[in-house]
Amino acid sequence: MDSIFQVQGSAKSQLAPLFLIHAISGSALPYNSLGALDSRGRAIYAISSPLYGPRRYRLPSSIDDVARQYLRLVRSKQTTGPYVLGGRSFGGIVALKMAEMLSAQEETILKLTLVDTSTTQSFSRATAW
């Protein structure tokens, strides 16, 4: 299984794609069963842990390392912002860290959606999409 895969919309859409990060299980397959999230054709990608991939994988030592790995996956689909990120549970924590890293690189975060995510951190640079 690829670590990043499209679950909805069109890769040719002019709208910024939405990238959804997996929960603690590491599998993003549950995102396949979501109802339509954007009626305008926005591309929606899900990111699973490379642990489920065909290659040998070494677990990262920190959330920062996971976020950096996943940013490489995101940038394989979208090289520049603005970005739309989200995640459930653990995935929300990773998405928040990714947003911080992108923001530090002067990239725009249009939307950051955290579902069932417990965190003491905040991110204030997201705007309406």
**Domains observed in the chain:** 4-115 (3.40.50.1820)
The set of residues, in sequence order, having a beta carbon less than 8 Å from that of 91 and lying 6+ positions away, is 20, 21, 22, 23, 47, 117
Higher pLDDT, 113 or 53: 113
Q: What is the pLDDT of residue 6?
A: 96
Q: What is the pTM of this model?
A: 0.88
Number of Cβ atoms within 10 Å of the Cβ of 121: 10
- Could you read off the pLDDT of 3-56 as tens digits, one per residue? 999 999 999 999 999 999 999 998 898 998 888 888 899 999 999 988 766 677
Average pLDDT on 100-108 reads 95
